[in-house]
Structure 1
Amino acid sequence: MAYSYMPGFGNDFETESLPGALPQGRNSPQRPAYGLYAEQLSGSPFTAPRGANERSWLYRIRPSVKHTGRFRPADFPLWKTAPNLNDHEMAIGQYRWNPASVPQEPTDFLSGIRTMTTAGDALGQSGMAAHVYVANTDMVDDHFFNADGELLVVPQVGGLRFITEMGVIEIKPGEICVLPRGVIFKVVPIDGPVRGYVCENYGAKFTLPNRGPIGANCLANQRDFKTPVAWFEEKEKPCRLVVKWCGRFYVTHIDHSPLDVVAWHGNYAPYKYDLASFSPVGAILFDHPDPSIYSVLTSPSGEEGTANIDFVIFPPRWLVAEDTFRPPWYHRNIMSEFMGLVHGQYDAKAEGFVPGGISLHNMMLAHGPDSSGYEKASHAELTPVKLDHTLAFMFETRFPQMLTRYAAESPNLQRDYIDCWRDLKKRFNGTPEGDWS
């Protein structure tokens, strides 16, 4: 597919699929070229500060207001929205799931969404939901936009083609895609059944985190984020448009494809990123740094240093710290951690956490390496070691993540997960050396 580099979050971008379709110098001329309609898509309040103001001008064959019928309720029972409280009777705890199974019956991306957790309040535009998706067929003449939040998609099995009103994006495992609030799209599995994860962000849109003392380089760099070039579909046949709005779903019928934007410019657009472009940093002498150094994207909360959501990855990297317990330590955290594994093995878990799986460690609930992982790390020879062929991630939020009924009653729930810490033994014996036998 054709992409252009995103010049930077907050900067304008422009693209056209027909020469001269994009006006020069005037955003909304009286008669746009090719008989197009000018339409603005705003992702922020009109009066937001310049650096945070987000909007794009779309030049399309028909304005998106043109529907052939009213909206009617639609039903996607496994897609839940915060607040989603008292959905089940299961007590709090540390949880882990095996990978979701791809159904045998035809299932597209929308009907294949299964919500695992919700957090915050979509109506208050704060918090998130964590979903898994499974699909084996494309959306054909169905289209969708989400008014509640943007979608960060992390494929785990199989590639996806997102055909959006602003162009086409393809991603495969190891890449991510962000679909802004309000952007219309449909999804096509590229190479058979697909599975992956979705973070639905109700709050401030994802952006690059500040690097602080790290300085100008490393982590995720602006130039590696790509937006699609303009592409349009002039299709005169019945289509459906599904909308998620305040936690409910609605559908309307239209007599043409809504993917008819011939040109656009602005700073509010879908984008993709190859996680292999992430440049990790870490301890090069001793100690174990906080996982925040692996933040790819962040959704700010308005409180400095306390994110609405952080998207954090654990990519291939070298471990070189001396006299240090290298895996994540045991901890209790104000943040709530939804974790997935794209491929490979996570260094703090010896078994049970497999590609496609999920773990959930909610705020202030203790967690850390399992028994065998601790034994291995506490007796390891601390020579330089490269963690290779691995990719795990976290959707981390300041809000408690509430389980859905689907997650609580899933046959994939590992009900013996808590036993992975059962064999941690007492090493205290009253001497400074302790019992490390």
Structure 2
Amino acid sequence: MLLGCIADDFTGASDLANTLAKGGMRTTQFIGVPAEPAAGDCEAGVVALKSRSIPAAAAVAQSLAALKWLRQQGCRQFLFKYCSTFDSTPQGNIGPVGEALAEALGTRGAVACPAFPTTGRTIYQGHLFVKDRLLSESGMEKHPLTPMTDPDLRRFLALQTKTPVGHVPWATVDAGPDAVKTALKEAAGRGETLVIIDAISDADLFTIGAALAEAPLVTGGSGIALGLPENFRKAGLLSGKGSAFTPVDGPTVVLAGSCSGATREQVRRHAAQHPGLALEIDKIMSGTLTPDQAAFFLMERIRLTPICYSTATPEEVKAVQDRYGREAVAEAIEGFFGELAVTLNNRGVNRIIVAGGETSGAVVSALEIDRLDIGPEIDPGVPALSGSRNGPLALALKSGNFGAPDFFDKAAAVLAGKGVGGMGTEDKSAGGAA
């Protein structure tokens, strides 16, 4: 293994794996820290953790365990992947994990760059933008778990770290890889462990990537990996074997737990064309709606690519959290979707499309899949994935804000190997609320 990656959630892991696979690296996504060595032909390994919203100390411990395993695989470089909207709290977990990894590797001056221009995430003068809005005005300030109210990444990251936070401005990036390398070396000399670096285009990310050829540690969103495969290619280390993804024949279900604006629109569109089961949180909390009942509804309509969803506006989410408590609601919904996915797979569903990082983590953990092969890109940042449970299993794990309005139909087509847009609509009926 050449590049060892640690991702703080499951959709972020597949997003990063997608970037590396497109760059020509034979890539495998591992679910949690593996107990066995990676396959000998794995060039990039992405260890998917569910550590974004847990206590910082636990996130550090899990990340160091992943680093230990990746070092045992012989990796030459390591990457800590977090969300392109820098999802975290003033207590962590980006800063604590980044510093712990840097300390373990004996390095400072590590890039911290969540930029992903393809999806509108750019950094200028240390501030994170989502399209034409500052992060704090993008809707992320209302996130139920990690509300992002400060777009100044230097200031926000400084709340989480013990050492100073550096910054490399866009003018330095525009000057080329050598200028970036010099700036990072100077930052390390000043004792700055993590260094925010500006990037407003993919070209900037390729420039930064070229500057990081010898960097022990890189941190950021999936975009920071754009230029890394080329470093290994220039060194003659890539095999050129490509992806091991295999499409799967069988029924498809969509499970949506994200409350982002993008997912709500995707759910609205899909439920207008396919049967849909809207989950009522009060019924989940009281136990009057069970995963088995939801599975029965979906299996009755399984030929029609049904959707089961728990989406709401930020105001509705807050009202539910006020009634039951934020952690209790999150645990109940994630547990419901995880058990539902297992029940559906046990009944023959072998293509599952999941929307939402926390929901994806719950589903994959419940299915107890240990590794996934990376397939073709469905939409920017979201690849098709294949694994095995009760036979072949295909997955799409979508971060809440990713994907076009028709993402679910496109994903169903790609998982089946039919190509984007290959799925027709068999029925116009939508289901009811539960």
Q: What TM bracket, shorter-length normalisation?
A: under 0.3
**TM-score, length-normalised on structure 2?**
0.26
Q: TM-score, normalised by structure 1?
A: 0.25
Write 1 or 2 for the structure with the bigger share of helix.
Answer: 2
